[in-house]
């Protein structure tokens, strides 16, 4: 039974769906999907076209808006919006350290997790579309990984799409995970350098924290083991519009004087715990690299292996010289499954996913070259999370795709620039801009 409720300017309805775990076995095991329908209060009784929102990630549920926040305000001007919790996220059948043991041992868990990539997500969307739209095609808005899903949608089920809009999420069609990270580390270094240029005092602050972590075992309140590498991964913040400023405020009062000497403050540790823990979104860590798998080559912990090609990210070497300690970015490493208590029970399954050699293609270049769906994409000029060069090559490979290349926004432009970003892309897709 659907439950509807109101917030300022919007009527929300809970929607629940049942889909096959494996769409190749439609009569086999099923999982549940949750989505929240949103419509403007003054349009609640009208027939409207549908917009499906595909969240970034992988492994995150859809935005929980209050009222007509951010880009939703623009979307509600003309659409009913479906905010989908992709399989394994939010209120859909959950995937975490508590539920995965129900599958069996690590091998069974890895087989299960292999069904949580863009190909399965798109098949979910096609399975529920007739129930939502009555069979009509819908418009999709794909943010980041949601854009990856959109390109998969265009590859295999273009008949389900009226229009496609992508923000910060045009993937390479053929890059292996190694290629993705070889392109990523130089971008990460540029973001860290820009941060230190803005906040030069942070160079010494970061060195002091790194030295402390090398000399002291530090357990955060939830049992997370804060190593130097884990501390460096806070650089993930630098890919957002306000991330550099938030990182600076975090660092500026990291230490407190105690009876036994300087120590990392409780306040600092509490904030770091919230930033580093994967307890609320373990699926991100588990399938982050598999979303790049498309052939018989294993991903094999690509970010960890490729990092060795960039010795400037070695904190110990930086501390032994006058070099700044560099943060890292959107990378997942095997040591995270040792430091994070929410991931520790899943290490064996993660290793099996990293060794997997039967990944199927996620994109169809021939189908994309013949695309007839109106598509518009925002490409952020120096996006820390998605390589702009990869995105532009894909843009050229998708027939009719129009791009808006901008350095006005970081990866979270849909949030910080809304409703202007969504409006610009809808007009591009309609040849109105």
pLDDT-derived band at 2, boundaries 50, 70, 90:
confident
For the stretch 124-181, pLDDT in tens is 999 999 999 999 999 999 999 999 999 999 999 999 999 999 999 999 999 999 999 9
Contact 196, 203 (CB under 8 A): yes
Are 200 and 238 a contacting pair, CB within 8 Å? no
- What is the percentage of the chain residues whose pLDDT exceeds 70? 100
Among positive and negative, which fits the CA dihedral 376, 380, 384, 387? positive
Residue 279: how many other CB atoms lie within 10 Å: 15
Summarised one tens digit per residue, pLDDT across range 135-146 is: 999 999 999 999
The tokens describing 89, both together, are: 């996220």
Helices and strands in the chain, H and E counts: 18, 11
Going by pLDDT thresholds of 50, 70 and 90, the confidence category of residue 198 is very high
Indicate where the chain has its CATH 3.40.50.1820 domain(s): 4-173+363-429
Q: Which residues are catalytic?
A: 144, 358, 411
User: Are 141 and 53 contacting, i.e. CB atoms less than 8 angstroms apart?
Assistant: yes
- Judging by beta carbons within 10 Å of its beta carbon (0-12, 13-18, 19+), is residue 322 exposed, middle or buried? exposed
Q: What are the tens digits of pLDDT across the range 52-82?
A: 999 999 999 999 999 999 999 999 999 999 9
Output the average pLDDT for the chain.
Answer: 97
Rounded CA gap, 284 and 131, in Å? 28
The span from the first CA to the last CA of the chain, in angstroms, equals 42
Question: pTM of the full predicted structure?
Answer: 0.97
Tell me: the pLDDT tens digits for 253-308?
A: 999 999 999 999 999 999 999 999 999 999 999 999 999 999 999 999 999 999 99
- CATH superfamily, domain 4-173+363-429, is Alpha/Beta hydrolase fold, catalytic domain (3.40.50.1820)
Q: Are 429 and 165 in contact (CB under 8 A)?
A: yes
Q: Is 52 helix (H, G, I), strand (E, B) or coil?
A: strand
Neighbours of 74 (CB within 10 A): 19
Instruction: Say what the pLDDT of residue 433 is.
Output: 78
3-state DSSP call for residue 230?
helix
């Amino acid at each position: 039974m659907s439950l509807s409720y109101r917030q300022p300017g919007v009527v929300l309805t809970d929607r629940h769906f049942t889909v096959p775990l494996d769409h190749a076995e439609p009569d086999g095991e099923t999982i549940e999907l949750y989505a929240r329908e949103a419509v403007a209060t003054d349009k609640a009784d009208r027939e409207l076209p549908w917009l499906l929102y595909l969240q970034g990630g992988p492994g995150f549920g859809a935005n929980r808006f209050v009222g007509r926040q951010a880009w939703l305000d623009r979307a509600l001007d003309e659409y009913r919006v479906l905010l989908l919790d992709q399989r394994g996220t939010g209120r859909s059948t959950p995937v975490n350290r508590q539920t995965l043991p129900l599958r069996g041992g690590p091998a069974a868990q890895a087989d299960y997790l292999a069904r949580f990539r863009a190909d399965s997500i798109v098949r979910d969307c096609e399975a529920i579309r007739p129930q939502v739209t009555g069979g009509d095609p819908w418009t999709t808005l794909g943010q980041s990984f949601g854009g990856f899903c959109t390109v998969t949608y265009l590859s295999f089920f273009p008949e389900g799409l009226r229009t496609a809009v992508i923000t910060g999420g045009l993937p390479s069609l053929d890059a292996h995970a190694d290629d993705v990270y070889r392109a990523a580390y130089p971008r990460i270094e540029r973001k860290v350098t820009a941060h230190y240029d803005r906040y030069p005092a942070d160079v010494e602050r970061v060195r002091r924290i790194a030295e402390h972590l090398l000399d002291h075992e530090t357990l955060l309140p939830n049992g997370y083991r804060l190593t130097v590498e884990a501390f460096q991964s806070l650089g993930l913040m630098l890919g957002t519009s306000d991330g550099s400023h938030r990182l600076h405020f975090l660092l500026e009062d990291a230490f407190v004087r105690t009876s036994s000497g300087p120590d990392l403050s409780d306040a600092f540790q509490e904030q770091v715990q919230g930033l580093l823990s994967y307890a609320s979104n373990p699926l991100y860590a588990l399938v982050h690299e598999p979303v790049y798998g498309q052939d018989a080559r294993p991903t094999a912990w690509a970010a960890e292996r490729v990092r060795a090609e960039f010795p400037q990210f070695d904190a110990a070497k930086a501390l032994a010289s006058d070099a700044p300690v560099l943060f890292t970015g959107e990378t997942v490493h095997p040591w995270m499954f040792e430091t994070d208590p929410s991931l520790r029970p899943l290490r064996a399954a993660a290793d099996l996913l990293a060794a997997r050699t039967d990944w199927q293609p996620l994109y169809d270049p021939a189908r994309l070259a013949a695309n007839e769906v109106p598509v518009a994409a925002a490409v952020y000029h120096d996006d820390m999370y998605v390589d702009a060069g990869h995105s532009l090559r894909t843009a050229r490979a998708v027939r009719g795709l129009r791009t808006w290349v901008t350095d006005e926004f970081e990866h979270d432009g849909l949030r910080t620039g809304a409703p202007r970003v969504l409006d610009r892309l809808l007009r591009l897709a309609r040849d109105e801009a």
